[in-house]
Structure 1
């Protein structure tokens, strides 16, 4: 069975909203940007992470942001890889997708569970907060990777809401990068 790996940029106060800057109108959008070029290790981690999977799974908002940017990018290990990979977007509203090798799934519990049982390598989920919350609720996440940035932004979209669901995780990997970023990998304990 394929693994679903969720990867997130996250602040010390648990916010995942607008790390790049213009994803939403958050007043502190771009909080991850100043750390992006300070240490090449974080960039290498993201390139290696993408190279190790063979499918992307995205929520509608993240898919639309990516589809508006990545098809026009070339070069490097990241742009070519992300454009070539099969991409699945979970959406009840989208009727068609134009980005190369993209497909629509309608139901998280049914369709994503079925995708996990197909042949192939691991499946990577970027951002996609609403989708990730649903994947966690349905116990479909096999690994949670967090890049914790040493910044607080006082509020915004969080990965973990006050839903009172208890989920236990075991630490698989931890590394502190010179710029203060923590790379943490967890597996759910079932």
Structure 2
């Protein structure tokens, strides 16, 4: 049985919206506020995570974002993302161009995710995909949450954790500094 890992870049106040500043959020681009040394350390940590992954699970918009930026990019990290099996929850994606992509019906994302979790082994990493991440947490399908915490407070924006029907206890299982100013925190869901 696979583990579902939610992996997010996040500000100190929990914002995950528009990290690269390509959206219409007036406080977007916070990802770019770190030093080159921190960005290099971040890339090494993310590459390490990709090497440990067995698959990626994405929503449609996150799939489009990743496929556009990573499909033709050179390098080991891009090669790893290309070779990983990718599963996309979507009713509109018809002909995925990124290699090794399977479209799962979004009409029943929970059933599709449960089946994927039972069928695969290893780690299924969910990058970005805020609505999907929230759904997985709400329905107790996520096993871990990994947060790369950026040293900024935005004071507004979409946050990773929204309302839930009940408390969602988590236990810190790893914490480390990445570069000079990033924190990489890993929480296991459940008591």
Indicate conservation of the 8 Å contact 1:11/1:149, yes or no.
yes
Cα distance in 1, alignment partners of residues 54 and 184 from structure 2: 22
Corresponding position of 1:12:
12
Corresponding position of 1:186:
187
Cα distance in 2, alignment partners of residues 178 and 60 from structure 1: 31
Cα distance in 2, alignment partners of residues 121 and 164 from structure 1: 28
Cα distance in 1, alignment partners of residues 37 and 94 from structure 2: 41
Q: RMSD of the alignment, in Å?
A: 1.5
Corresponding position of 1:37:
36
Runs of 4+ in structure 1 off by over 6 angstroms are: none
Alpha-carbon displacement from aligned partner over 1:143-164 (angstroms, at most 9, x marks no partner):
1000111101121111111345
Q: Secondary structure at the match of 1:32?
A: helix
Indicate conservation of the 8 Å contact 1:108/1:135, yes or no.
no
Corresponding position of 1:132:
133
Q: Secondary structure at the match of 2:37?
A: coil
Indicate conservation of the 8 Å contact 2:138/2:164, yes or no.
no
| Shift in alpha-carbon separation, 1:125–1:152, aligned structure 2, 3 A | same
Deviation, structure 1 residue 120? 3.2
Indicate conservation of the 8 Å contact 2:50/2:77, yes or no.
yes
Deviation, structure 1 residue 170? 0.4
Corresponding position of 1:27:
26
Alpha-carbon displacement from aligned partner over 1:86-113 (angstroms, at most 9, x marks no partner):
1011112323322111111112210110
| Shift in alpha-carbon separation, 1:178–1:122, aligned structure 2, 3 A | closer
Indicate conservation of the 8 Å contact 1:175/1:183, yes or no.
yes
Indicate conservation of the 8 Å contact 2:70/2:82, yes or no.
yes
Between 1:132-141 and 1:112-121, the stretch displaced more is 112-121
Cα distance in 2, alignment partners of residues 171 and 78 from structure 1: 27
Corresponding position of 1:147:
148
Q: Secondary structure at the match of 1:13?
A: coil
Indicate conservation of the 8 Å contact 1:36/1:42, yes or no.
no
In structure 1, stretches of 5+ residues that fail to align are none
| Shift in alpha-carbon separation, 1:189–1:28, aligned structure 2, 3 A | same
Cα distance in 2, alignment partners of residues 63 and 36 from structure 1: 27
Q: Secondary structure at the match of 2:53?
A: coil
Cα distance in 1, alignment partners of residues 136 and 36 from structure 2: 31
Between 1:105-114 and 1:175-184, the stretch displaced more is 175-184
Q: Normalization by structure 1: what TM-score? A: 0.92
1:55 has 2:55 as partner: yes
